[in-house]
């Protein structure tokens, strides 16, 4: 009985230490963010908002890459961001208003590399936009940061890597 408990404890602790055995590495580069179309904060400090936005994108790219083999590296170079909605003054404060005309856009290039063979598997320039972003009822990202952008990236990732 004690051996089974020790074996189970060892197994579960290894899951905590190595939660993903098949996950590609991700490298995200932000090229000239001061020229991005729209990465403006509402009430939040501009620098903090940009850092949080980049962090959320990077975390999402890493989550997507969990579906790729661990011998691969996904390199992303983001060259433009236009978040859903736009910031406007609402009385004394600045808020992000979401309207259909202010659809999300993301421009980046990617390279998928086999790190064992040091060989490029695929690469491309990507210009994503979702003009119908408000027409989709429900979302697994409802009330989460970048919910429209994440849904757009999910669709791109499935179409590009999961065929």
Torsion angle defined by CA atoms of residues 15, 18, 21 and 22, in that order, rounded to the nearest 10 degrees: 120
Indicate the number of domains in the chain.
1
Q: Are 110 and 117 contacting, i.e. CB atoms less than 8 angstroms apart? A: no
What is the mean predicted confidence (pLDDT) over 86-97? 74
Residue 135 domain-assigned (yes or no)? yes
Which pair of tokens denotes residue 126?
Answer: 């990507």
Residue 12 domain-assigned (yes or no)? no
CA-angle at 57, arms to 32 and 43, nearest 5°? 80
Helix, strand, coil content of the chain in percent (nearest 5): 35, 30, 35
pLDDT at 43 over 80: no
Q: Residue 38 carries which DSSP code? A: B
What is the pTM assigned to this prediction? 0.79
Residue 41 domain-assigned (yes or no)? yes
Residue 5 domain-assigned (yes or no)? no
Residue 11 domain-assigned (yes or no)? no
Residue 8 domain-assigned (yes or no)? no
Residue 16 domain-assigned (yes or no)? no
Residue 4 domain-assigned (yes or no)? no
pLDDT of residue 4: 46
* Structural domain for 151, as ranges: 22-161
pLDDT at 21 over 80: no
What's the CA gap between 163 and 161, in Å, rounded?
6
pLDDT of residue 49: 87
Paired sense of beta strands 86-90 and 119-129, if any: unpaired
């Amino acid at each position: 009985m004690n051996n089974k408990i020790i074996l189970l404890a060892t197994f579960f602790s290894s899951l905590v230490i190595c939660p993903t055995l098949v996950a590609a590495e991700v490298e995200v580069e932000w090229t000239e963010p001061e020229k991005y179309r729209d990465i403006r904060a509402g009430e939040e400090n501009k620098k903090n908002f940009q850092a949080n936005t980049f962090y959320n994108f990077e975390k999402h790219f890493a989550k997507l890459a969990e579906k790729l083999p661990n011998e691969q590296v996904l390199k992303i170079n983001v060259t433009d961001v236009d978040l859903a909605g736009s910031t406007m003054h609402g009385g004394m404060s600045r808020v992000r208003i979401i309207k259909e005309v202010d659809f999300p856009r993301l421009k980046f290039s990617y390279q998928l590399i086999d790190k064992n063979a040091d060989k490029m598997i695929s690469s491309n320039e990507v210009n994503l936009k979702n003009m119908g972003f408000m027409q989709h009822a429900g979302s697994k990202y409802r009330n989460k940061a970048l919910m429209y952008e994440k849904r757009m990236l999910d669709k791109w990732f499935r179409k590009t890597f999961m065929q």
